[in-house]
Amino acid sequence: MPQRVLVITPDPVGPRMSGPAIRAWELSRQLAPRCEVTLACKFAAERVGEGFTVVSYDGSDARLRELVAASDVVLAQGATLYHHPALLDAGKYLVVDLYAPLVFESYPNFVSQGSFADAAYAVHQQIMDGQMLAGDFFLCASERQRDMWLGRFCGLKRLRPAMFELDPSLGKLLAVVPFGVADQPPAPGAPVMRGVLPGVGPDDTILLWGGGIWEWFDPLTPIRAVAGLGRSDVKLVFMGLAHPNPDIAPMAMAARALTLAEELGVKDRLVFFNHGWVDYDQRARYLLEADAGVSVHFDSVETRFSFRTRVLDYMWAGLPILTTRGDAMAELVEREGLGEVLGYEDVAGWMAAIARLAPDPARRERALAVAARLRWSEVAKPLVAYCEAPYHTPRGLVAPTAPRLPLAMWAGKGLALWRREGAGALMAKARLKLTGRPPSR
């Protein structure tokens, strides 16, 4: 009998998906030929599975318990175990996906909560500790992340002699399963930018920002660089601003990017923003129309342990990559000769790199070769092997407990949202938290 695997994502699964939902979808596809797979999402399921079932648990703890009861293996992302603590002792084989270091991503949010920042930070630490103590098998995105997570496991007293006896390499506890790319090359389609976006011509050089604008990214530097060049044939296109998950509040950095483009007089002239979100199945058309992919970030701890999934898409399409130094992807770009790696907030360096852009067939072939090593069918192998023959791993010396969100943190989060977006946004968020449903439109 094949193992019954439940993959849980807190993100919407539909035409428009962000990183967590894409990862859950693609891992489900890889598991489906070997296991009986159900992908459960918090919101309405708007996509039909490919060899697996897609359902919604609608934010309901009772519904999720039913799905867990009918499964052998459970794979959870993000703060799922915090929101549904019954999963901690459900007696199932528990896989925890640690590919996104949420605490590091959340520092800008902590800071925005003022005097409540430490309370928010403490709860996030409890969330991480709880799932790292409860899980049987863990996924991360890179060897650099694996070193970091092993250090945290050590601090949590999870790496007992019994764990070493089971596997001295600790690979049975924590495996590198990065984000991947499709096994098939991107398929062209009708134009989506050239001759479609007013102001983008057929012969323009298009720099593509292939994803959202989050707080840890630096869209300001490439905007300044394009403005500084002042070339009418160089266009910077941001693929999406509106996160498909209604739980995710609009990012202040996105507003800063829009404001800067307007102040410099380049918005809708040299710099273009998609205020929605590109369908997952349509993103290849943007990639194939672009001349280069850009990924720009700040010097922060989030950068060091990040795994920029948009850069994988650039490789998949054979695009030259312009990126900031400091993360694992920048090292890969530099080592494999896939583009240029630039300094933090180096506007002059970006201007020069953009001016140097030129077709390079050998570089394109190198990018495609690297992408081939990162196909989902390859990177998912450790997870598939575990789910085919799951096992429990020795628990640590500390028992997992479900974290409690202090009233002070709720107050801090509400205050930050009210300051940023007003009373209407605060009421909408409260309704979503209480009912699990966004307001009707």
Domain boundaries of the chain, sorted by first residue: 4-180+379-405, 205-374
E strand map for 57-121? 73-77, 93-97
Looking at residue 298, its pLDDT comes to: 97
Amino acid at 220: L
CA-nearest of 394, 387, 286, 392 to 74 is 387
CA 325, distance to chain mean position in Å, is 19
What is d(CA 252, CA 420) in angstroms, rounded to the nearest whole number?
A: 8
205-374: same fold as 4-180+379-405?
A: yes
Q: What are the structure tokens assigned to 429, written together? A: 């968020």
Looking at residue 434, its pLDDT comes to: 43
What is d(CA 158, CA 134) in angstroms, rounded to the nearest whole number?
A: 10
E strand map for 36-99? 36-41, 53-56, 73-77, 93-97
Q: What are the structure tokens assigned to 223, written together? A: 């905007």
Pair 388, 34: CB distance under 8 Å:
yes
Looking at residue 176, its pLDDT comes to: 98
How many Cα neighbours within 13 Å face the side chain of 248?
22
Tally of CB atoms within 10 A around 92: 18
Q: Which residues pair with 95 in a beta bridge?
A: 75, 137
Strand pairing class (53-56; 321-324): unpaired
E strand map for 201-268? 205-209, 234-238
CA-nearest of 320, 319, 321 to 308 is 321
Pair 2, 32: CB distance under 8 Å:
no
Residue 96, phi then psi, degrees to nearest 5 = -115, 125
pLDDT per residue as tens, the chain (441 positions): 899 999 999 999 999 999 999 999 999 999 999 999 999 999 999 999 999 999 999 989 999 999 999 999 999 998 898 889 888 888 999 999 999 988 999 998 899 888 889 998 998 899 999 999 999 999 999 999 999 999 999 999 999 999 999 999 999 999 999 999 999 999 999 999 999 999 999 999 999 999 999 999 999 999 999 999 999 999 999 999 989 998 888 889 999 999 999 999 999 999 999 999 999 999 999 999 999 999 999 999 999 999 999 999 999 999 999 999 999 999 999 999 999 999 999 999 999 999 999 999 999 999 999 999 999 999 999 999 999 999 999 998 776 665 555 544 455 555 555 555 665 555 555 555 544 444 443
Looking at residue 398, its pLDDT comes to: 73
Q: Model-level pTM?
A: 0.90
- Name the CATH superfamily for 4-180+379-405: Glycogen Phosphorylase B; (3.40.50.2000)
Q: Which residues pair with 38 in a beta bridge?
A: 6, 53
Amino acid at 162: A
Looking at residue 401, its pLDDT comes to: 61
What is d(CA 174, CA 164) in angstroms, rounded to the nearest whole number?
A: 12
What is d(CA 52, CA 45) in angstroms, rounded to the nearest whole number?
A: 13
Ramachandran region, residue 52 (left: φ > 0; alpha: ψ -120 to 50; beta: rest): beta
- Name the CATH superfamily for 205-374: Glycogen Phosphorylase B; (3.40.50.2000)
CA 181, distance to chain mean position in Å, is 14
E strand map for 251-359? 271-273, 292-295, 321-324, 339-342
Q: What are the structure tokens assigned to 411, written together? A: 């107050």
Dihedral angle, C-alpha 93, 98, 103, 108, nearest 10 °: -130
Looking at residue 435, its pLDDT comes to: 46
**Which residues, including other chains, have CB under 8 Å from residue 15's CB and lie 6 or more apart?**
46, 47, 279, 280, 281
Amino acid at 142: S
CA-nearest of 29, 47, 72 to 180 is 29
Residue 303, phi then psi, degrees to nearest 5 = -60, -45
Looking at residue 436, its pLDDT comes to: 46
What letter does residue 85 receive in the DSSP assignment? G
Question: Tokens 């500390």 map to which residue?
Answer: 398
| DSSP H or E run through 138 | strand 137-140
Looking at residue 87, its pLDDT comes to: 85
Q: What are the structure tokens assigned to 222, written together? A: 């490439």
Q: Which residues pair with 208 in a beta bridge?
A: 237, 293
| DSSP H or E run through 412 | helix 407-421
